[in-house]
Structure 1
């Protein structure tokens, strides 16, 4: 973006106040990603600060080969991964074999019966049970609306790897949704 490039040039010429403008522009994006990945407010704030320190220190390395926002997102993503490695959280992983086409269709039917807002809440809650890499890629694709190319750029995964992870994450998410939501709906509608 031309606007970003103007600020980058000002910063590289010594105008550190121009950096505050870039931080303001991207702080919500960085914090949102960090919070979704590390799932802790304080740690997300720390990761955000670390990200902007890294962006500042490496600003001269930005060559404009991708959008500046993608470059910042990539640094934030890697900073989150570093934080997660330090913590070594373990996430619940269901086997993909549990998912069949029938289960997927049943779960999709269940989701259609839930109001749109409720559906988003249910999906976000169920996403918490996904492994971090799958949850993050789903989040990037559906909520941050990054293209496959941008996800590849951020994660450094191959196109095939991103597609496989998206496919697996969707299947695993549907299994989780079915396991969590179906009993609640049966109980809810069974009592009426």
Structure 2
């Protein structure tokens, strides 16, 4: 949906046409659910948080000032709601040590994964990402898969630019550790060579 279309529906909702919100929900439900599922790794929880996101969005629609895209504003609500749920549940304590990993090794993740069939690569990447702590996993998804800009991620997370860059760098390092521990050593040896 375009920014102008979003604003038209937002204006209609603010004028009392609550049914117009259904169009916004339909436009963004898959995007929000996808992001939430990647953060929580739990379908039921993702459905609940997605619904909560849209309820909070509706309740706070008058606070949307149009300074960013509506989708970014919803991402921010979803992201915060996920973090709250994760803190409440404390279910996601996946930790991997970040050893002394060099930039060349970080870049080798792409080289390794390029040699694996696309479907297998997708499955392996998802499995590896799911082993990361939720904040790191969500930052990587927002940046690489949802293709949010750095500015949009800063807005969604309320983190500084430097903090987002540092967290993305650490997430990449941790992902490399996970890939090395979970992808068959032969694949790493074969595809990881320069």
Provide TM-score, normalisation by structure 1.
Answer: 0.90
CA apart distance, 1:108: 4.3
Report the equivalent of 1:189: none
What is the root-mean-square deviation of aligned Cα atoms in Å?
A: 2.0
Report the equivalent of 1:148: 150
Residue from 15, 20, 24 that aligns with 1:22? 24
CA distance, structure 1, for counterparts of residue 170 and residue 92 of structure 2: 18
CA distance, structure 2, for counterparts of residue 77 and residue 104 of structure 1: 26
Decide whether the 8 Å contact of 1:77 with 1:154 is kept in 2.
Answer: yes
CA distance, structure 1, for counterparts of residue 109 and residue 16 of structure 2: 56
Residue from 64, 75, 80 that aligns with 2:77? 75
CA distance, structure 2, for counterparts of residue 108 and residue 65 of structure 1: 35
CA distance, structure 2, for counterparts of residue 61 and residue 109 of structure 1: 45
Residue from 165, 173, 176 that aligns with 1:174? 176
CA apart distance, 1:126: 0.2
Residue from 57, 60, 67 that aligns with 2:59? 57
Unaligned runs of 5+ in 2: 189-194
> Secondary structure, in 3 states, of the residue corresponding to 1:8?
helix
CA distance, structure 1, for counterparts of residue 152 and residue 75 of structure 2: 10
Report the equivalent of 2:125: 123
Report the equivalent of 1:36: 38
CA apart distance, 1:25: 0.4
CA distance, structure 1, for counterparts of residue 32 and residue 67 of structure 2: 20
Map 1:126-137 onto structure 2 (within 5 A).
126-137=128-139
CA distance, structure 1, for counterparts of residue 158 and residue 107 of structure 2: 33
Residue from 161, 171, 175 that aligns with 1:159? 161
CA apart distance, 1:139: 0.5
Decide whether the 8 Å contact of 2:86 with 2:92 is kept in 1.
Answer: no
Decide whether the 8 Å contact of 2:106 with 2:172 is kept in 1.
Answer: no
CA distance, structure 2, for counterparts of residue 99 and residue 93 of structure 1: 16
CA change 1:66–1:105 in 2 (3 A) is closer
Unaligned runs of 5+ in 1: 187-192
Number of aligned pairs? 188
CA distance, structure 1, for counterparts of residue 10 and residue 110 of structure 2: 46
Provide TM-score, normalisation by structure 2.
Answer: 0.89
